[in-house]
Structure 1
Amino acid sequence: MKKKFPIIETDRLILREVLKEDSADMFLYLSDKEVMKHMGLEPFQTQKETLDEIGWYQTIFKEATGIRWGITHKENGRVIGSCGFFNTHPEHSRAEIGYELSKEYWGKGIASEALEAIIHYGFQHFQLERVEALVEPANSASLKLLEKNGFKQEGLLRHYEFTCGKFDDLYIYSILKGDVVTT
């Protein structure tokens, strides 16, 4: 039996499963070099890369190693970004969080609204105790987003990843279940 993908609704957003039909909307932001700048990936060049990304979202959900919601704006229903958990460790009640958002929606509180919703969902429904985020030091917008949502910086992981032909330092941030009220 296929498990049902959870839908989360906020004031302005619906977070839902991403489908192949969403690939054109997703390609718009996944091919944008500014959106991809701090993601450790080159901007997407082809629709196939977007379909592969959607395939990865479906695989991590099916295999219960993560979940990635499409961020859709209630005004138009288009996928304008994604967010979710991956690198889950159920035995330790922890997961890593990731997100990206179309540039046209930057600075409008959309990412914060989505992040708050999935953090609460993770603590309530996945019994997470800890959510982690790894962020490039130069990604000031993401650092501010995490801090605004209660994440604490724990340290710098030097040369932690090799992406796009270089080693990247990453800050590690976390939020614990006890840091937030999950009503």
Structure 2
Amino acid sequence: MPVLTPTVLETPRLRLRWITPADAEALYAVLSDPLVTQYWSGGPWTSIDQAHRSIADSLANYADGSGVRFVIELADTPGLIGYVTLHHFMDASRRCEVGYALAQPYWNQRYAGEALRAVLEYGFRDLDLNRIEADIDPANLASARLLERYGFRKEGYMPERWIVNGQPADTVFYGLLRSYWDTAPFVSQ
């Protein structure tokens, strides 16, 4: 597992920082929204306790190096509007998975891409990852476009990988190699 130290990433419009217990209400607001979670492997949150448990898990992940969750904030306005995670680190292969969520009022403004790009750069440069993976619902076209915009390639399809609200749900796998990232035209911008 990588050694993780408190990190703040800044972009022109965003500040990304580690999550704290003070973020529980805002995290719950994001993840209790059925539209935000409609393509998840679980339904929307129904209790603030889920936010407290999730934050406790994130703090434990920081400590043991198994994952890092970056809160997305507007640069000029503190407060969680979403997050990006790197998790399920596999040291021997220098790989992990990425996940993200953004509150509805901030959709279609390219905040998710700006945050994702910063976290991918952190993963490849600071954590020396070789590969970052994502698994998404094939119906989540916005997420597929986002991943593809940042160099991820579709690598596989698994029918009925998840049972969500009692219904089978498929998965599309995406992968981003460091070599793809290093040669992407947007990286040097």
User: TM-score over 0.5 for the alignment?
Assistant: yes
- Equivalent residues in 2 for 1:28-177, closer than 5 Å: 28-177=29-178
Q: C-alpha deviations, 1:50-81, integer Å up to 9, x for none? A: 11111121122111111111111112111000
Whole-Å separation in 1 of the counterparts to 2:60 and 2:162: 23
Q: C-alpha deviations, 1:92-138, integer Å up to 9, x for none? A: 01101000000000000000001101111101111111100000001
Instruction: Answer yes or no: is 1:18 the counterpart of 2:48.
Output: no
User: Does the residue aligned with 2:128 lie in a helix, a strand or coil?
Assistant: coil
Report the CA distance shift for 1:170/1:60 in structure 2 as closer, same or farther (over 3 A): same
Please identify runs of 4+ aligned residues in structure 1 that moved more than 6 A: none
Q: Is the 8 A contact 2:4 2:62 kept in 1?
A: no
Report the CA distance shift for 1:59/1:104 in structure 2 as closer, same or farther (over 3 A): same
User: Does the residue aligned with 2:92 lie in a helix, a strand or coil?
Assistant: helix
Report the CA distance shift for 1:24/1:152 in structure 2 as closer, same or farther (over 3 A): same
1:41: how far off? Answer: 1.9
Whole-Å separation in 2 of the counterparts to 1:146 and 1:3: 24
CA RMSD of aligned residues (A): 1.5
* Greater displacement, 49-58 / 132-141: 49-58
Q: Percent identity?
A: 29
| AA matched with 1:70 | V
Mark the runs of 5 or more structure 1 residues left unpaired by the alignment. none
Whole-Å separation in 1 of the counterparts to 2:87 and 2:27: 19
Alignment: residue pair count = 182
Q: Is the 8 A contact 2:13 2:74 kept in 1?
A: yes
Mark the runs of 5 or more structure 2 residues left unpaired by the alignment. none
Whole-Å separation in 2 of the counterparts to 1:113 and 1:142: 13
Q: Is the 8 A contact 2:71 2:84 kept in 1?
A: yes
Whole-Å separation in 1 of the counterparts to 2:115 and 2:52: 23
1:39: how far off? Answer: 1.5
Whole-Å separation in 2 of the counterparts to 1:93 and 1:119: 13
Whole-Å separation in 2 of the counterparts to 1:164 and 1:5: 36
1:4: how far off? Answer: 3.0
| AA matched with 1:131 | I
Q: TM-score, normalised by structure 1?
A: 0.94
1:165: how far off? Answer: 2.1
1:153: how far off? Answer: 0.4
Q: Is the 8 A contact 2:4 2:65 kept in 1?
A: no
1:7: how far off? Answer: 1.0
Whole-Å separation in 2 of the counterparts to 1:42 and 1:30: 9
